[in-house]
Amino acid sequence: MNKLMFPTCIMLFSVFCNAQKILDVSFLRCIYDYVYSKDTLLNKKSDGDILYLQIGMNCSKCLSFYSQQVDSLVNTPYYEKEFWRTFKNAMDNEGYTSSNYPHKRMKTYVYKNYPKGTMTVTDGLSMQDYIYEDELNAQDWEILDSTKTVLGNLCQLAKCTFRGRQWMAWFAPEIPISDGPWKFGGLPGLIMEVYDIGRQYNFVIIGLEKKEEPIVFSKTYVGSKKFEKTNRLEFLKAKKRYLMNMGGYIEMETGIDLGSNSSQKVMQYDLIERDY
């Protein structure tokens, strides 16, 4: 991951905010290193992302740094035309595994306490984005006695079972914010590190900044489309189908026949939420 790309995104962010619905203004931005296994059942090489958690007085937003980059670029002239040109070139030259075009890594956006008392999640499969509501602070934590220091903050250990996985979280009681990366929250302090016991999914904080910036509701990946409403379980089922046949989804959505480049190996994906 290229952490030196952060300033580019910050410069583009002011342009992006002008066209979006503002939900709140943040007072704190947390930056997490997110490492996960793409094909967990076959123990394939891990992949990674960088997540931003923007925390405001009324709500928070968690998204990928790379998603924020794309969101900013969407509002530049001719973005959509340029996107399809680079996407087709990448597919033609490198096949469906190519990443040589403007794209998001983790497409999940988590808006906590929006609307009030619940959570809104948007996510994407291929060129279609989806939206659903989820339960806020759904983890039932047990706080343990162990302590350690994370990013200079004394943290306490907690554990829970959440949607098919056992999770361990280090939270900072001295930062009295009941929030964390992805869908995690509900502890008496900011979650600084959280991982499942198999270490297939791991989030650890690498930056903590006092940052006032608009918390906006991001548009769809492709501006000409709208979010398709769904529920969490149906989305997870669709995601599993997509991951098992990405080449087929790309051809269905774009009309691009990947031909010999689309040889898809049968892969077994162990999603972060297993309860579908």
Q: pLDDT of 109-124, one tens digit each?
A: 999 999 999 999 999 9
Residue 259 pLDDT: 56
Q: What is the largest CA-CA distance in the chain?
A: 56
pLDDT band at 219 (very low <50, low <70, confident <90, very high): confident
Indicate if the pLDDT at residue 128 is higher than 60.
yes
Residue 11 pLDDT: 34
Q: In this predicted model, which residue has the larger pLDDT, 101 or 159?
A: 159
How is residue 49 written in tokens?
A: 């992302």
Q: In this predicted model, which residue has the larger pLDDT, 93 or 215?
A: 215
Q: Is 119 exposed, middle or buried (0-12, 13-18, 19+ CB in 10 A)?
A: buried
According to DSSP, the residues that pair with 207 across neighbouring strands are: 31
Query: Is the pTM of the predicted complex or chain greater than 0.75?
Result: yes
Among 119, 138, 144, 132, CA closest to 62: 119
Indicate if the pLDDT at residue 184 is higher than 50.
yes
Q: Tell me, letter by letter, the H, E, C secondary structure of 76-93.
A: CCCHHHHHHHHHHHHHHH
Q: How many CB atoms lie within 10 A of CB 167?
A: 20
Alpha-carbon 19 to chain mean position: 21
Distance (Å, rounded) from C-alpha 49 to C-alpha 37?
11
- Strand bridging mode 165-172 / 190-196: antiparallel
pLDDT band at 213 (very low <50, low <70, confident <90, very high): very high
Q: What percent of the chain has a predicted confidence (pLDDT) above 70?
A: 74
Q: What is the chain's mean pLDDT, rounded?
A: 83
Q: With beta carbons less than 8 A apart as the criterion, state whether 144 and 159 touch.
A: yes
pLDDT band at 243 (very low <50, low <70, confident <90, very high): confident
Q: pLDDT digit string (tens) for 57-81?
A: 999 999 999 888 777 777 677 667 7
How is residue 231 written in tokens?
A: 């529920």
Q: Which residues contact 259 (CB under 8 A, 6 or more apart)?
A: none
Sign of CA dihedral 62, 67, 70, 74: negative
Q: Among 16-30, 172-186, 262-276, which stretch is predicted with the lowest mean pLDDT?
A: 262-276
| DSSP label of 218 | -
How is residue 140 written in tokens?
A: 């039932």
CA-to-CA separations, 64 to 9, 20, 51, 77, 82, in angstroms, rounded = 11, 17, 4, 23, 22
